[in-house]
Amino acid sequence: MDLNLGYKTDGWGKFTLRDQFSYLLSYKRSDLQDTPPVDRTGGYNYPDWENRITLAYQYAEFDATVSAKTFARVRDAADDPENSSNPDGYLPSYTTFNFAFGSKLDKKTSFAIGVNNIFDRVAPYSVDGGGYNGTTSGRYGFVSVDYKL
């Protein structure tokens, strides 16, 4: 579900608030051929929900964006709940924050610079992940240039 609210001021630019909410109804997977699928909803890598909220500001050719992405808590050690590294059997939810600043250089070219995961938030560790976590990128910056042909 997406929600977009915009407010254009007289001479001060435009503000946009956007909320993107995803809810996973069901995710079933069979690990081996000829075995019945197992419901993985709410388990490691398959949170029940995710939410990204973004506040953007645009003035003339400049824009700035701040966003927060939250992941729901998930069951730890979904295949073996008794072996969970967390007392209640769940990995806690967590949130990352991002910032970007951009500018249109001309009609065809735009430039952006930003930092994702500003506070260097690392996803909670899971026994079920086998030491692997797909979201451990930490804080990182980026620069982009877009040119339209």
DSSP 74: E
% helix / strand / coil in the chain, to the nearest 5?
A: 5, 50, 45
Structure tokens at 43: 């388990």
3 state SS of 67: strand
| Nearest in space to 55 (alpha carbons), one of 46, 45, 42, 64 | 64
Task: Kindly give, in sequence order, each residue whose CB lies less than 8 Å from that of residue 145, ignoring residues fewer than 6 positions away.
Answer: 109, 110, 111
Residue with the bigger pLDDT between 144 and 86: it is: 144
74 versus 128: the higher-pLDDT residue is 74
> For the chain, what percent of residues have pLDDT higher than 70?
85
Q: Is the pLDDT of residue 52 over 70?
A: yes
Instruction: State the pLDDT at residue 3.
Output: 93
Closest CA to 44 of 58, 34, 29, 33: 29
How far is residue 24's CA from residue 46's CA, in Å, rounded to a whole number? 8
CA dist 59 and 48 (Å) reads 37
pLDDT tens digits, 91-136: 889 899 999 999 999 999 999 999 999 999 887 776 655 655 555 5
Angle ∠(131,135,137) on CA atoms, nearest 5? 100
Q: What local confidence, expressed as pLDDT, does residue 86 receive?
A: 66
d(CA 74, CA 66): 26
